Chains A and B, each alone.
Chain A
Amino acid sequence: MLHTSDRAAFQQLARDELAGLYALARRLTGRDAEDLVQETLLRACRSFASLRDRRAGGQWLRVILTNVWRDRLRKDSRGPTEVPLDDVECFSLYRTLVEEDPFPYSDTLHLDFLGSFSEDDVHIVLQRLPPLYRAPLVLRYMEGFPTKQIARVLELPLGTVLSQLHRGRKLFERALWDYAAESGAFAACSAAREDTSWSR
């Protein structure tokens, strides 16, 4: 039960944070984001009285949302998918770009490659990663959670989170490369480059 004064405060906090919560939910699940936000607000409303520092409300809501997502993932009968280390460990996007040289006329090969991805492309690539590896990347690099906090929120040993972050980065590199090859980004970028050079 919320006190009358808490009711307005909770409404204000929830409304201020809706966009950020929805973005985090989309990054974690890719689907059912709205439902995830609703369950988060439900849990948060029940325990709002326990929030001592109201200025930390946004972070508090994000932790709750991650807890809800974690609980759902555990209930999912498919369970988290481990990726064999060998499959990703050997891949280096930096070296692959040097070896494959997809933009032969570029002096800034690595930057040109990364520059060919829109924000939406990166979102799509992230969604291709198994949740087990995507979540630590999202929490660390998009939400700015320290690694120790990620370990607490996901209820995992710190070493496991560090290992998942490492594999997640490797998988992300691999997925970027595969996505660029599939989406024809190399050809489009080379064509644009040739057009530019002809028009000079």
Chain B
Amino acid sequence: MEPMISCAAAVERLWAFLDHELDDHDHRAVEDHLAFCRRCCGELEFAKHLRRLLETSGAGELPPGVRARLDRFVDELTQTAGGGGTP
């Protein structure tokens, strides 16, 4: 049986653990640690919420003025690329 990893080692791997990016050996090591360490379970829950906060970060709506300019740009681009003249 392998020795248990430390809290520091477990915490360092938590996001990769959540992202399923650890190899089997490291994934199991974190799982084993979490099975007995309450504090690191708290860290894991926090990491989940933090990740969700990141995922829902806003970049704002596309402003109507920008949308209009980009729409025009697409029109001109496709006309030029299609041989319809210079915009």
Contact = CB atoms under 8 A, between A and B. Distances in A.
Contacts of A27: 57, 59
Interface stretch (A7-15, A74-82, A183-191): A7-15
Given A11-B75, A93-B50, A142 B70 contact: no
A123 B81 contact: no
Q: Report the interface size class on chain B.
A: 35 or more
A126 interface: yes
Interface residues of A, number: 47
Contact of A142 (B45, B57, B74): B57
Q: What is the interface of chain A mostly: helix, strand, loop, or mixed?
A: helix
Interface string B1-37: 0000000000110011001010000000000000000
Contact of A38 (B42, B56, B73, B81): B73
Contact of B57 (A7, A41, A122): A122
A84 B53 CA distance: 25
B16 A162 contact: yes
Interface of B: 11-12, 15-16, 19, 21, 42-43, 45-47, 49-51, 53-62, 66-67, 69-71, 73-75, 77-78, 81-83
Interface of A: 1-4, 7, 10-11, 14-15, 18-19, 22-24, 26-27, 34, 37-38, 41-42, 45-46, 92-94, 110-111, 114, 117-120, 122-123, 126, 137, 140-142, 147, 162, 165-166, 169, 172-173
